[in-house]
Structures are given as structure tokens and as C-alpha cells.
Amino acid sequence: SALTALQQAHPKAATFAFLTDQHFHYNSEHLVRHNLQAIDEVAKACRVEFAAFGGDNIAENGNGTAALNKVKYFGNILRDYGIRKAVVMGNHDDNSLSGYQSDTGKYLAEYAVPQDQFYAHMYRDNENVFNIHMDAHRDKLYFYIDLPSQQIRFIFLNVIDIPMMDDGTGGL
């Protein structure tokens, strides 16, 4: 295949799959699984370092509990596949948009999925075996992955790196 030939010609080249805007719903699980199965098939033919999920992994989440349950469910789907994953939190994943109150102009904190909980469910089994580096407090929306043998660093950023903080009135 073209990827195998590229890797043979450039042994330090890194190959990864990039998926974005999955907007997972319970009734679309088969689509997410289809994407992961396709990546697994490619990985059997050539080296694939990891699959990067670029944000907006889930959507239309309702309240905070429903959103966190969907995050957990999506994380469990990802664990069913052998390839390593890098999952970035997007604005749909934090669910703050669902808590917008047009009459007050506030976003209700009770709707939000905190970054630490999102990453805890995405990386529960993956972090120690994969060279993922996050800040010590896990409250940022960025991290990086090193591939020392290829001398490559992948840096993942969310365009809205604003830690969620309750304003004391139940809003963000």
C-alpha cells in the first residue's frame, strides 16, 4: 500500500488517523464503530501510531448528568478497539452550550462536563501506556504526545482554552 511504501522509505515518519466532529448520539454508535474498525484495518496493513479525535465527539446532551453519561459511553466504545487514541475536548463535549439561558445570557454550570471528568473517562486505560502529557491539574484543554523513536511531538489544542468556573450564582 502507499502508506507501507511511505513508511519503508521514511522509517521515522509517523502515521495517524484524524477524526473530528463525530457528534456521537446513542443511535449513531454504529458509525463511530465503523470508523474505528476502518482504522483498525489500516493499522493491520501498516503502522498507525494513534487515532486523534479532534473534538465535538458528542452532541445534543441534555443536562450535565446525561452529557457525562454520554461521555462515559463514548469512552467505553473507544476502549473496545486496540489502537491508541488522543481525544481532544471540543465545545460540544463540555456541554456548556446546552445550558445557555437566553433570558439571562448565562450558561448554567449544572449542564457542563468538567475537563477533568471528560479526560478521566477518555484516558482511564490509555494514559500510562501512551506518552500523553497533560498539566498536573488536568484543567486545561491541551496536551501533547511524544513519539521519541520518530523524534516527533504532536500538540493538541482546543480553540477555546477557558477553564470552566462557577460564577457563584450557578452560571459559568
Quick: pLDDT tens for 20-71: 888 888 888 999 999 999 998 888 888 888 889 988 888 877 888 899 999 9
Report the DSSP beta bridge partners of residue 101: 106
**Whose CA is closest to 23, among 11, 32, 14, 15?**
32
Rounded to an integer, the average pLDDT of 68-79 is: 89
Please report where in the chains the cell 463514548 appears, as a residue.
74
Rounded to an integer, the average pLDDT of 137-152 is: 74
Sign of CA dihedral 99, 100, 101, 106: positive
DSSP state of 104: T
Distances (CA, A) of 105 to 34, 62, 88, 165: 39, 18, 27, 16
Q: Does the pLDDT of residue 128 top 50, yes or no?
A: no
Instruction: Give the whole-angstrom CA distance, residue 12 versus residue 141.
Output: 28
Q: Does the pLDDT of residue 100 top 60, yes or no?
A: yes
**Whose CA is closest to 78, among 35, 115, 45, 49?**
35
Decide which of 137 and 93 is more confident: 93
Reported as a single tens digit per residue, the pLDDT across 147-167 is 888 888 888 877 555 566 777
136 confidence band (pLDDT: 50, 70, 90): very low
**Whose CA is closest to 139, among 117, 120, 115?**
115
pLDDT for the residue numbered 89: 82
pLDDT for the residue numbered 15: 84
**DSSP E strand boundaries for the chain:** 16-19, 50-53, 85-87, 100-101, 106-107, 132-133, 142-147, 152-157
pLDDT for the residue numbered 129: 47
